[in-house]
Structure 1
Amino acid sequence: MSQQPSLPQQATSAQDVRGIIAERDLVVDLIRTACVVLVVFVHITMVGVSAGPDGIGVTSPLQDLPWYVASTWIGQVMPLFFVVGGFASATGWRSTVARGGGARDFVASRLVRLFRPAVPLFAVLTVGLGVATALGTPRDLLDEVAFGIGSPLWFLAAYGITQCCVPFMVRLHERAPLRTLAALLVLAAAVDALRFASGVAEVGLLNLGPVWLFAQQLGFLWADGWFARRSRLLLVVVAAAGYALLVPVTSIGLWAPDMLQDLNPPMLPLAVLAVSQACLVQLVHGPLTRLMRTRAAQGTVFLLGRDGMTIYLWHLPLFIALNGVALLVGLPFPEPGTATWWATRAVALVVLLAAALGVARALRRSDRPLPRLLAGTDRPAWPVIALAALCTIGPAFAVMQLHLSFGVALCGAVLVPIGVRLLTRTVPASIAARG
């Protein structure tokens, strides 16, 4: 979602584009884009809107299906997304170091790329929730809508934290990759044990570090070619063992068999799931590589992947808005959960992605990366970057913990632009070094 697949500005000729494509592992771009589309699809199947004589009803057809829980073992792709993010972070870090940059340059660039698209979103949410409150919208209805709109924003906090840790975690990976993974797994288990023993759910927030950093470290291994050097038989055995382990782990009553319930705060099963998913990706890497040699696949991935972060952030507000417009103009709503309703999900997905791409195009200015540093300049000193990280990650963390409200949206509308502005500043290299 950060690091969307996009072609640099200097790629002005067909030869330039072909050269860039040849240097990239386009499977990474494909998986990242597929994860975003799958998340959007899951969300539009979890919300069924009906209009009848008794008013508007909202149900969750997907969760009513008997195989829903089993499907989350496949459909829960966030561990895989953090693995892919680890791959992108490892290659991005090496690129930063190769051109003479350092940890401050990397962290500032990643946070700006992640949070710039959130600036207009927080502004729109503030205005929308403020107007709805002023118009006297029933509190229960407003809270339910705000909860749905804000639910994807947890990712900004979790991914932002992992990006801030990349320079340090890469050093640990270079010294002891497998021991680092083992230590993170033990920490994740310890946090869950403390959470269960204390009965305090908020203790689980500590696992925003170990669980997602564990998945990110798997991405570092992927970037090193570790998975590619393993035999197919070993990959199959490890992937199967991971899923087999989840059966007793989720059957003892501590962890939920529903992988979406184990998401916020993240829990140990997601780390196990990340291992299996990483192995499975390597098993299909060859066929996916051949797929990404086709122009159709490349065009689709670059079209959607370029604006992946914006699509992810805006898809639920747009989905709710589109349903509202459909209700106002009197479009027919099939009964949620029926064969007709399921058949319309493909249409809903296409319409929603088209609307999200339209928003992305309109907001393209807010989704541009930081320009590279000029000679003799550097990013701000660490205290400034730490303050900027707090301003950007803080509101998303508040949404994750307190749920979206007018007050939280207002904090985001004020603090996130401040944080992004601080990160876009440059100072003379000598001053930054003294900081």
Structure 2
Amino acid sequence: MSAAVSLEERERLLAGRDLSIDLVRVCCVLLVVVLHSLMLGLTVWPDGAIGWRNVVQEQPWFAVASWFGQLMPLFFVVGGFASWQGWRSTVRRGGGAGEFFRARLLRLGTPAAVWFVLVGGLVWAAAGAGLPMPVAQLLAKGLGMPLWFLAAYLLCQAAAPLLIRLHERHRSATILGLAAGIVVVDALRRVTGVQEVGLANLLLVWPLVQQLGFLLADGTLARLRRPALAGLAAAAFGAVGVLASSGLYSPDMLDDLNPPTLPLVLIGVGQTALFLLAKPGLDAVMSTRPAQAFVGLAGTRMMTVYLWHLLLVIAVAGSVLLAPGVVPAVGTTAWWFARIPGDLVVLFVLFLISLGVARFERGPRRVGPVPSAPALVVAGVLAVVPPFWAMEAGLDLAGFVWGAAAMSAAVLIARGRPAA
């Protein structure tokens, strides 16, 4: 009986889903884990200071490789696809923008609030147990590195209902307007020399990349033939090369990530075209039960993997401090090969952690009526400020405290008062 129920539940969950989209989402997050393990090499400098060395970015091939390995644009594309479907589902139920955003905020903010509390507690406990303060501060700052995604994604989710309406009524004008805004912001940043001007592109670059997901969801891109898709990918990556050669932008997409710039949009276009070219093969893979089981398991743990992986990557990198004569020196051939067992350890421990905390990705079990628009605005601001601050200034020990308070308050406001 239980086997039949689980099969029915599985069929219900898979019905109507584009499983190749789910596969891409999972692979993007897992690749982030691998890339961060390559980027974060803990090093003891000759003067005894402890710091990070980004070994992979030092390689001559890294800049061009980042056009394909920097998968955040593709993640926002598939996120736009999911937002389109989620908004359609909300409208069919009679819901509106408030209900849509509340659901997204709870799905993202609840595991983030738990992360701030638990990881912040670990960092404070480590400092109290005798971990040198410079190391504790370095640890805290490093742990905040991936949180920019949370701020950017929440902003996209808040804007999704409006942008979907604009996409349906004024598709070309919306895309061209966002693109023009990005060009203006990039130009102002170069002319003034004020890097903070580029932060305005958080409101333009990622929403424009999200629009590509809408084009994917409404079938526009699916109507392109394979030669056209190949030409689109070549044109997009070729344009990135032209912009990089001109000196206007860095060829390294890690440098162009925060603040985000125009090349990331072009990378998103090229990666989306490559995804559509590979989609028949991905659909074939996702027709198999092992692939469906893997994506089904990993797909319910994506925020957990994203939030918690850097703590484990740092712990593995920190083993050089405990056994400097045994652990390979950063950047050596042995160090590169050691990334394989290191990543496997990280992924295994992440799975163990997910057994306890992944349930928070479903949000609170009980929620009240959808809060008013002003209350949701306050909740959204409270949820965006901590990851935005971590992106700009990095977390410190105090940052975990007020970040946990702000994120928890956002979740409580969005949750509302459940009925008795």
| TM-score under structure 1 length normalisation | 0.89
Q: Which moved more, 1:73-82 or 1:176-185?
A: 176-185
Q: Does 1:212 align with 2:230?
A: no
Counterpart residue identity of residue 6, structure 2: S
- Taking the TM superposition and a 5 Å limit, the aligned residue runs for 1:221-260 are 221-260=215-254
SS in 2 for 1:225: coil
* CA shift for structure 1 position 135: 6.1
Q: 1:140 to 1:197 in 2, by over 3 A?
A: farther
CA contact (8 A) 1:46 1:62 kept: yes
* Structure 1 position 60, deviation (Å): 2.7
Matched residue SS, 2:108: helix
Structure 1 residues 3-402: aligned runs within 5 Å: 12-49=5-42, 58-133=52-127, 140-324=134-318, 328=322, 332-369=326-363, 378-402=369-393
After superposition, the Cα gap between the structure-2 partners of 1:138 and 1:229, relative to the gap in structure 1 and judged at 3 Å, is same
Paired AA for residue 35 in structure 2: V
Three-state SS of the structure 1 residue aligned to 2:235 is helix
Pick from 413, 416, 420: which aligns with 1:425?
416
Q: Distance in 1 between matches of 2:203 and 2:44?
A: 43
Distance 1:353 1:137 in 2: 26
Q: How far 1:74 moved relative to its partner? A: 0.9
Aligned length: 415
How far residue 325 of structure 1 moved from its aligned partner, in angstroms, is: 6.0
Distance in 1 (CA, whole Å) between partners of 2:128 and 2:334 is 38
Q: Of 397, 405, 413, which aligns to 1:406? A: 397
CA contact (8 A) 2:41 2:53 kept: yes
Amino acid in the other structure paired with 1:425: G
Amino acid across the alignment from 2:373: W
**Letter of the aligned partner of 1:380 in structure 2?**
P
CA distance in 2, matches of 1:191, 1:262: 13
Query: Secondary structure in 1 aligned to 2:246?
Result: coil
SS in 1 for 2:144: helix
In the TM superposition, residue 390 of structure 1 has moved relative to its aligned partner by: 1.1
Q: How far, CA to CA, are the matches of 1:257 and 1:294 in structure 2?
A: 38
Q: Deviations over 1:259-294 (max 9, x none)?
A: 011001111110111111111111111110001111
What is the CA–CA distance in structure 2 between the aligned matches of 1:421 and 1:58, rounded to whole Å? 37
Say which SS state the counterpart of residue 102 (structure 2) adopts.
helix
TM-superposition CA deviations, 1:1-36 (whole Å, max 9, x none): xxxxxxxxxx94313312432421001110000000
Question: Which runs of no fewer than 5 residues in structure 1 stay unpaired?
Answer: 1-10, 429-435
Q: Letter of the 1:343 partner, please give it.
A: F
Q: 1:194 to 1:402 in 2, by over 3 A?
A: same
The RMSD of aligned alpha carbons is 2.5
Distance 1:339 1:157, change over 3 A: same
TM-superposed CA distance for 1:125, in Å, is 3.6
Task: Report percent identity of matched pairs.
Answer: 42
Q: Is the Cα–Cα contact under 8 Å of residues 316 and 342 in structure 2 kept in the other structure? A: no
* Offset, 1:381: 0.6
Report the CA distance between 1:420 and its aligned residue. 0.3
Residues 50 and 333 in structure 1, CA contact (< 8 A), matched pair in contact too = no
Name the amino acid aligned to 1:253. G
* SS of structure 2 residue aligned to 1:251: helix
Distance 1:355 1:252 in 2: 45
CA distance in 2, matches of 1:247, 1:126: 41
Deviations 1:222-247 (A, max 9, x none): 01111111111111111100111111
Tell whether the 8 Å contact from 1:47 to 1:58 is kept in structure 2 after alignment: yes
How far is 1:361 from its partner?
A: 1.2
Gaps of at least 5 residues in structure 2 are none
Cα distance between partner residues in 2 of 1:343 and 1:35: 22
